[in-house]
Amino acid sequence: MEIVFPSNPHPAGTPSGVPAPPLENTSPSKVRRKDGDSLFRLVTLGSALVIPLLIAGLFVSLTDMSMPSIRHFGLKFILSSAWNPVKHDFGALSSIYGTLISTLIAMVIAVPLSLAIALFQVELIPPRLGRFIGSSIELLAAIPSIIYGMWGLFVFAPFMADHVQPFLADITGTLPFFQGPPMGIGLLTAGLILALMILPFITSVASDVFRMVPVQLKESAYGMGSTTFEVARKVTLRYGIDGIVGAAFLGLGRALGETMAVTFVIGNSHKISTSLFTGANSIASTLANEFTEASDPLYLSSLVELGLILLVITIGVQILSQLWLKRMRGKSGRGL
């Protein structure tokens, strides 16, 4: 994710003060006709239209396919945590709960960590080393999610069960979040894996944002005797706050829809529990697990409605993040 920096007042090719020489006999319309530009325009327009059409089509077909479930359960679908394929009683609450809580855990961990990494990368080390760290973090983003899932199940979950979960249960005592047998899988593990997966996205955007902070501002702060920490806290972070929120939204969008890695470690049970050690499920993991064998029409339709809910949540988050990023770009342009 590259942040566009729209503040160059002198576009290449027209140095200020020197007017561009007038082009003879080439009005724009003539050029267009000659080069078949209108055809080109049409083709690109058609290609560009494919995307909104696809999204609209997705919405329409998902809504259409979930109609039986929407009619049968109504609003109760979102409020009920029942999930009983034998008795044809379905509700989305446990899946929505698992999706939101695992994402929340991921955000709580990944956002501060990414900011620390980005600050270190931009402020504290030589640019060349910073770029090296930057590209290794981006490599982390290239790892397929199933690899995270397998690593999570075979390496990370036993580690959680043997070390992290008993430790947490010990130090928190009777706090309801860390109760139950330490199985190594469950909401907490899923949240941690998700945190690891969205870390590179947030770090990469955040470091771009931090690089946008005008050097003059930082230099003046240093000149007034600020420590590095003070500069980071009072100048860099404050200047980039909008960009940071945008970055967090990007990570959020990805965490909400993550499927394979979560399915491996979340424990896949349709229950709502305050303890983060117990098995739960997310919308995406429920879909991944149950789609193949859902032969009953109402079952299938309920799964599709779950998908629709996820689509609505994800698109909502994306729209919010786009709006935020747009606002931030406008602001930073003015700020310079």
Partner 1 sequence: MKKFLTTLFMTAFVLVMAHAGFGMTINGAGATFPYPVYAQWAYKYEKLKGVKLNYQSIGSGGGIAQIKAKTVDFGASDAPLKAEALEKFGLIQFPMIMGGVVPVVHIKGVGPGKMRLSPEVLADIFLGKIKTWNDPAIRKLNPGLVLPDKNITVVHRADGSGTTWIFTNYLDKVSKEWHAKVGTGKAVSWPAGVGGKGNEGVSAYVQKVNGGIGYVEYAYALQNKLAHVLLKNRAGKFVAPTIKTFQSAAANADWAHAPGFYMVLTDQPGEKSWPITGASFILVYKVQKKPETGKAVLAFFDWAYRHGAQIAMKLDYVPIPEKVVRLVEATWKKEIKDTKGHPLWK
Interacting residues toward partner 1 by CB under 8 A: 82-87, 153-154, 157-158, 161, 181, 183-186, 263-264, 267-270, 278-279, 281, 285, 288-290, 292-295
Q: Which is it for the CA torsion 31, 33, 39, 41, positive or negative?
A: positive
Q: How far is the CB of 196 from partner 1 (least distance, A)?
A: 19
The whole-angstrom separation of Cα 93 and Cα 90 is: 9
Name residue 156's beta-bridge partners. Answer: none
Q: How far is the CB of 142 from partner 1 (least distance, A)?
A: 24
The whole-angstrom separation of Cα 127 and Cα 181 is: 47
Shorter beta-carbon distance to partner 1: residue 270 or 329: 270
Shorter beta-carbon distance to partner 1: residue 157 or 205: 157
The whole-angstrom separation of Cα 336 and Cα 332 is: 7
Name residue 280's beta-bridge partners. Answer: 267
Q: How far is the CB of 268 from partner 1 (least distance, A)?
A: 3
Shorter beta-carbon distance to partner 1: residue 160 or 194: 160
Shorter beta-carbon distance to partner 1: residue 3 or 288: 288
For residue 89, what is the enclosing H or E element?
A: strand 89-90
The whole-angstrom separation of Cα 68 and Cα 73 is: 9
The whole-angstrom separation of Cα 178 and Cα 165 is: 8
DSSP string of 176-219, one letter each residue: GGG-S---S-SHHHHHHHHHHHHHHHHHHHHHHHHHTS-HHHHH
DSSP letter at 125 equals S
Q: How far is the CB of 285 from partner 1 (least distance, A)?
A: 8
Tokens 């760290």 correspond to what residue? 133
Shorter beta-carbon distance to partner 1: residue 24 or 293: 293
Q: How far is the CB of 259 from partner 1 (least distance, A)?
A: 11
Q: How far is the CB of 88 from partner 1 (least distance, A)?
A: 10
The whole-angstrom separation of Cα 308 and Cα 326 is: 27
Q: Angle formed by the axes of helices 297-335 and 241-257, to 10°?
A: 170
Shorter beta-carbon distance to partner 1: residue 208 or 290: 290
Q: How far is the CB of 100 from partner 1 (least distance, A)?
A: 20
Chain-centre distance for alpha carbon 286: 20
Q: How far is the CB of 297 from partner 1 (least distance, A)?
A: 10
Q: How far is the CB of 68 from partner 1 (least distance, A)?
A: 16
Shorter beta-carbon distance to partner 1: residue 179 or 226: 179
Shorter beta-carbon distance to partner 1: residue 153 or 248: 153
The whole-angstrom separation of Cα 37 and Cα 312 is: 38
Tokens 């470690």 correspond to what residue? 265
Looking at residue 335, its amino acid is: G
Shorter beta-carbon distance to partner 1: residue 86 or 171: 86
